[in-house]
Amino acid sequence: MLLHRWIMGLAVAAVVALAAVSPALAESLEDGEAESQYLENAWNFVDASMDVSAGIPADARGVLADIREAGVLRVATEPYFPPQEFIDPDLEGQDSYVGADMALARLIASRMGVALQIVPMDFSEVLPAVSEGSCDLAISALSYTPGRAAQMTFSKGYFYAGTRTGSGLMIRAADSGRITGVASLVGRNIAAQSGSLQEAQMYEHVFHYREFRRMSSVQALYNALMDGTIDAAMVDKATGVAYIESNPRCGLMMVPGVHFTLEEQFEGDRIAARKGEGELIAFVNGVIDEVLSSGQYMAWYEEATARASALGL
């Protein structure tokens, strides 16, 4: 398949890039230091975690040291993906950015001992903002792909959608008799969020359609379906089901029996930093370990789900 070839090609490129980068990183270490544990593995994840109980270490380097000096952690996010990140209209300023991911961002900043600046933007701009240095971390329900991992350093996974993991087709309920699967998309307008894993899955699984559109947010997809601009959208299944459950009058549904599963390495939401910032991600991993062992992330997720439902998101 096209996506499979794309994935394998980029995976090879990522491993080759890793082989080229790792010696340079190793040479930068001073005698006696054990920071090699923070290097990326073959998938460009950092497996190691840092003890975050004392905040940012005094001998921190790279972006982690820059954050300590600036006193601010800048986080890029697309705030239209409830319950992970969304805007609460009853709150103002930075407090209005809520959701499980935003709670995690606030805890990371707290453990670092710095202020948090959440920087909202379109999803397609999130990773470039980090790689170009205008933000320090990307926290936006990010999935791993080899293409992203070739350019970024990723954290451990911190949220897995369980039985809903993967993608599906969302349509108008009124079209349930006409759109019953991928083969029914011939001559129809379809869409996915620009830059998302679902966009890549659309390329792999859907070959015959009238027009394929890329949209800036999942809410834009829902709106386009409801107003008839498009006929079907490839969406994250957990998010799509949650939206339909929260908005029973939206007139949308997931096509039964259509489910695109993810290979293991693509599962889980992750946090991204600029390429080579293994020490920063090791700090992030320390906070992830904390919220997973305590169950705090799922508590945030359930609270955010209830709030997003109350807002009709």
> What are the 10-residue block averages of pLDDT along the chain, 313 residues in total?
36 34 36 59 82 96 97 97 94 97 98 98 93 97 84 92 73 95 94 84 88 90 95 90 89 92 75 95 97 96 93 86
pTM: 0.70
DSSP secondary structure letters along 133-175: TS-SEEEEEEPP-HHHHTTEEE----B--GGG-SEEEEEEGGG
pLDDT in tens, 120-178: 999 889 999 999 999 999 999 998 887 888 899 999 999 987 544 678 999 999 999 99
Neighbours of 211 (CB within 10 A): 11
Q: Please report the pLDDT score of residue 267 as a whole number.
A: 73
- Say how far apart CA 159 and CA 142 lie, in whole Å: 10
Chain segment 10-24, per-residue pLDDT in tens: 333 333 333 333 333
Strands 152-154 and 211-215: unpaired
- Confidence at residue 265, expressed as pLDDT on a 0 to 100 scale: 65
Would you say the C-alpha torsion 13, 139, 111, 100 has a positive or negative sign?
negative
Using CA atoms, how far apart are residues 293 and 26, in angstroms rounded to an integer? 31
Domains contained in the chain, CATH given: 2-159+268-311 (3.40.190.10), 164-263 (3.40.190.10)
SS3 114: coil
Predicted pLDDT of residue 34: 44
Cα–Cα distance for residue pair 140/102, rounded to 1 Å: 9
**Do 288 and 48 touch, CB atoms closer than 8 A?**
no
DSSP assignment of 24-84 equals HHHHTSPTT--GGGGS--TTSB-------TT-S-TT--HHHHHHHHHTEEEEEE-S-BTTT
Residue 182: both structure tokens together: 């991928």
